[in-house]
Chains A and B, each alone.
Chain A
Amino acid sequence: MAEADMMNDPVGQKPVYWDPYDPGIFAEPYPVLKRLREEAPLYYNEKYDFYALSRYDDCIAVLGNRDDYISKHGGVIEVMKAEIEVPSGMFIYEDPPLHTAHRRFFTKVFTPKHVARLDSQIRDFCVKALDPLVGAKEIDFIEHLGAEMPMQVIGMLLGMPEEKLKEAQRNVDESMRTEPGQQNNSSGASLAGDYYADFVDYRIRNPGDDLITSLLNTPFEDDHGTTRTLTRAEVLSMVALIFGAGNETTNRLIGWTAKLLSERPDDRREVHANPAMIPEVLEEVLRYESPGMYIGRTTTRDVEFHGTTVPAGSVLLAIVSAANRDEAKFPNGEVFDIHRGRQPHLTFGYGFHNCLGNALARVEGRIAYEEVFKRFRDWEVDMSRAKMASTVTVRGWETLPAFL
């Protein structure tokens, strides 16, 4: 139970309360999410005026239906409420036919086969990050690995200059950072991708073998059936999306894996002895600690869940982190079990907007831990110095020092 909840309501007598901003709930969300699944499978939050679903089948029903639940108003509560005009190219917040046209651009770049070819480059980045730590007393899984390798990989794919990546990453972090308990009121500003203008303009003048160049030059059929290339503005939005997504998420996966295995020495030693288990362990980490807590949609008509009507035009959240522990889908869902095998968790979403980078994240995570286990069998996270990132959209560690 969240700390605040525990103090005010030790035996859970009050109606269940959840919002993604409450710092106590954010720190320890799962007891509240369990109560949501059990007591309020369709939950309405009066304070922020949103509806939320927490059971697996309900989340699937929303995410798999793009007619009744649309994305163009955004996927994060404050963006949806602010009625921000989402710029063209930010395709996670688009609907067909524009979404289909824009997303198709990336699919081929991020296929499992394509990202598998990046194996040696990803491994090189991991080796560079980890080799200096051999013989050291400590590692910070975020500073040394999580915040480094995925950034290098996405920078390389996009064709951004290596020496500018850290600054660009700080820009992403700043745009996502929120004060505890507050909404992120800058969410809209970063969507246009103005920050990336220099990189894109450089590739307009100096085409290369990279994603920014292909975005600029590849013809496609747009939503009006016209064959054209993307506008500079569309490219900027897409680069903002890809760089931001590529930085934030695998980083969190690397952090959660380190923490969960730190707390479970037997599991950790088993994986060390048998690194072929790594992909399945990572799937369990993804299920158990989803970096993204929820995915938002806007209803286009009145819909009914569990006997209650959600009116058209409502903000409706699919709480994928809750669905991932739904006992009806995952027996003993609240238990972290490295022997569970691959399960269809919703951490990468479901349906038309599912995470384009899912194959890349899996490959990055696997190689990162193959290289970690080549060097270290044991580590112990120092929770007294660990710090969670202060963002409402992605939940995970910003600092995660561990004794080696």
Chain B
Amino acid sequence: MPKLTFISADGETKQSVDAPEGITLMEAARNAGIDSIAGDCGGACICGTCHIYIDPAWWAKVGDPIDIEQATMEFSENVTPHSRLACRIELTSEHDGMVLQVPPED
């Protein structure tokens, strides 16, 4: 069961979450009640509300966004080179220890 660490947008709070393999990072964040990861569209990759920053050390494990995801991220705010949509990342044992940060509100 991969252990994930979510850092708040201001960097002040860290939350550790044990997530089962096979669900998406969006579902893991939502199940854990992580603020700002709304996942409005339920994982259809159309709303952009599960935008998250991947810790650079973990980028290789998740890889670059696909073209559709890139297009949907136009709905998200504060997109950086370490941005992904959490609904596009299916968790595996490879992600054990992954560190993520919630993007700022504005």
Contact = CB atoms under 8 A, between A and B. Distances in A.
Contacts of B71: 351-352
A358 B38 CA distance: 14
B43 interface: yes
B41 A110 contact: no
Nearest to B42: A342
Nearest to A104: B74
Nearest to B73: A107
B44 interface: yes
Q: Select the residue from A108, A279, A351, A355 with max chain B CB neighbours within 10 A.
A: A351
Given A111-B76, A113-B77, A355 B40 contact: no
Interface stretch (B4-12, B13-21, B46-54): B46-54
A72 interface: no
Contacts of B72: 354
Contacts, number: 67
Interface of B: 38-49, 67-68, 71-72, 74-77, 87, 105-106
B39 A350 contact: no
Given A112-B48, A354-B46, A348 B74 contact: no
B85 to A, nearest CB: 12
A97 interface: no
A348 B41 contact: yes
A358 B49 CA distance: 12
Nearest first, the 9 A-B pairs at minimum CB distance are A342-B42, A344-B44, A354-B46, A107-B74, A344-B43, A344-B42, A343-B42, A111-B75, A351-B68
A155 B54 CA distance: 40
B48 A111 contact: yes
B45 A350 contact: yes
Given A107-B74, A352-B71, A359-B75, A112 B49 contact: yes
Interface in A313-359: 341-346, 348-352, 354-355, 358-359
Contacts of A73: none
A283 interface: yes
